């Protein structure tokens, strides 16, 4: 059922209005496809290279994806090395000069966002640590607002004839987003300080925004699969410092989180992570509505 849902959502993006589209836009992740839809409406045909059920660190550049990259006027990615395992190959093999690094047709969201967890030193023994900081920036809605401003300007630069329409749509989006953030922050106020365990550091921005206290990670080191020994150590830690729930994203296996949660007698909670990660996360507003709802239900 989950795969069917993601398929339907992907089909929605692929079927975004194209008849009068001024720009052909390819995004690396679903959240940027959703944001582009908010800002461009029928002025852009939008598709995403990944779905909510795929780890954005690693995908294969399939022929169909290469074809989309060749046609794109604008490529929108997170940056901060999130896609370093596959994006350089995609850009090189696509042979599209418009979307190469440094060109107006390549946009990195991280350049407009507040980045956290920047390492002071790099050591491979620390695991898969990004030199530019944590790239999972979209789960702080304040970053979405910042990126929207930068993306609006880029859309207008590429399509100046419709510049006023992009600006008007951004003004409308920012108004609705500001009101929604106030509601989410009110809903999330009672979660502040709640101790949680996370599967990976892809929920760091959500925790930072809501004030959740991350007291453990299922991965022994970032990017490493959970091991039996590490989970056993984590379970001992939780006996002295209990957590209220174990969090994972829609694209991560439930096995480790459910093992730990069942033994610690706390909920294991799957969060959508991005647009399309749950039936409720149909757009950016639904993503945060559903995320807050799930957190509240698991930590009453």
Domain boundary among 142, 159, 183: 183
Residues 164 and 210 in one domain: no
| CA–CA distances in Å: residue 205 to residues 14, 36, 114 | 29, 21, 10
Domain that holds residue 292: 190-297
User: pLDDT tens digits, residue range 129-176?
Assistant: 778 899 999 999 999 999 999 999 999 999 999 999 999 999 999 999
Co-location of 253 and 276 in the same domain: yes
User: Which CATH number is 218's domain given?
Assistant: 3.40.50.1980
Q: In what order do the strands lie in the sheet with 213-217?
A: 213-217, 195-198, 245-249, 268-271
Instruction: Indicate the residue among 151, 183, 215 that finishes a domain.
Output: 183
124-136 pLDDT, tens digit per residue, is 666 677 788 999 9
**Between 244 and 62, whose confidence is greater?**
244
Same-domain check for residues 159 and 194: no
Q: What is the pLDDT of residue 124?
A: 64
Tokens at 17, concatenated: 């209005």
- Residue 17 forms part of a structural domain: no
What tokens were used for 55? Answer: 């780890």
pLDDT at residue 5, as a whole number: 46
Mean pLDDT of the chain: 92
| 155 burial level (CB within 10 Å; 0-12, 13-18, 19+) | buried
Q: How far apart are CA 173 and CA 187, in angstroms?
A: 21
Same domain, 200 and 172: no
The Cα 55–Cα 53 span in angstroms is 7
Query: pLDDT digits over 35-81, tens only?
Result: 999 999 999 999 999 999 999 998 887 899 999 999 999 999 999 99
Q: What is the mean pLDDT of residues 95-100?
A: 98
Same domain, 132 and 278: no
- Give domain status of residue 209, yes or no: yes
In this structure, the answer to whether residues 31 and 142 fall within a common structural domain is yes
**Do 133 and 212 belong together in one domain?**
no
Domain presence at residue 164: yes
Average pLDDT over residues 171-197: 97
Same domain, 206 and 136: no
CA dist., res. 98 & res. 96, Å (int): 5
Q: What is the CA radius of gyration of the chain?
A: 19
Q: How confident is the model at residue 15 (pLDDT cuts 50, 70, 90)?
A: very low
Q: Are residues 67 and 130 in the same domain?
A: yes
Residue 155 covered by a domain: yes
Does 272 map to a domain? yes
Tally of domains in the chain: 2
Same domain, 178 and 224: no
Residue 9 falls inside a structural domain: no
Residues 34 and 95 reside in one and the same domain: yes
Within the chain, strands assigned E span 23-27, 44-48, 74-77, 106-108, 195-198, 213-217, 245-249, 268-271
Which of 183, 204, 231 represents a domain boundary (last residue)?
183
- Say yes or no: 225 and 292 in one domain: yes
Residue 29 lies in a domain: yes
Exposed (0-12), middle (13-18) or buried (19+): which is 78, by Cβ within 10 Å?
Answer: buried
What band does 300 get if pLDDT is binned at 50, 70 and 90?
A: low
SS3 content of the chain, % helix, strand, coil (to 5): 50, 10, 35
Domain membership flag for residue 18: no
């Amino acid at each position: 059922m989950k795969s069917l849902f993601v398929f339907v959502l992907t089909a929605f993006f692929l079927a975004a209005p194209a008849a009068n589209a001024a720009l052909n836009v390819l995004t690396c992740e679903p959240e940027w496809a959703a944001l582009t839809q908010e800002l461009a409406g029928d002025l852009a045909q939008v598709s995403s290279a990944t779905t909510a059920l795929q780890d954005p660190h690693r995908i294969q550049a399939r022929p169909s994806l290469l074809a989309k990259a060749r046609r794109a006027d604008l490529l929108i990615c997170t940056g901060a090395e999130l896609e370093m395992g596959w994006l350089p190959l995609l850009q090189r093999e696509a042979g599209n000069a418009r979307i190469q690094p440094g060109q107006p047709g390549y946009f990195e969201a991280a350049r407009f966002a507040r980045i956290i967890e920047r390492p002071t030193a790099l050591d491979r023994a620390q695991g898969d640590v990004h030199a530019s900081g944590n790239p999972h920036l979209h789960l702080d809605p304040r970053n979405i607002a910042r990126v929207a401003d930068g993306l609006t300007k880029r859309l207008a630069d590429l399509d100046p004839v419709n510049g006023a329409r992009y600006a008007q749509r951004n003004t409308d989006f920012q108004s609705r987003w500001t009101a929604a953030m106030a509601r989410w922050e009110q809903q999330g106020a009672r979660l502040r300080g709640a101790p949680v365990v996370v599967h990976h550091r892809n929920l760091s921005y959500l925790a930072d925004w809501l004030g959740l206290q991350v007291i453990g990670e299922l991965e022994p080191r970032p990017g490493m699969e959970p091991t039996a020994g590490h989970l056993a150590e984590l379970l001992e830690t939780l006996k002295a410092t209990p957590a209220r729930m174990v969090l994972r994203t829609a694209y991560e296996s439930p096995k480790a989180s459910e093992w730990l949660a069942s033994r610690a007698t706390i909920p294991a909670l799957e969060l959508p992570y991005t647009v399309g990660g749950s039936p409720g996360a149909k757009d950016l507003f639904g993503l945060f509505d559903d995320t807050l709802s799930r957190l509240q239900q698991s930590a009453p």
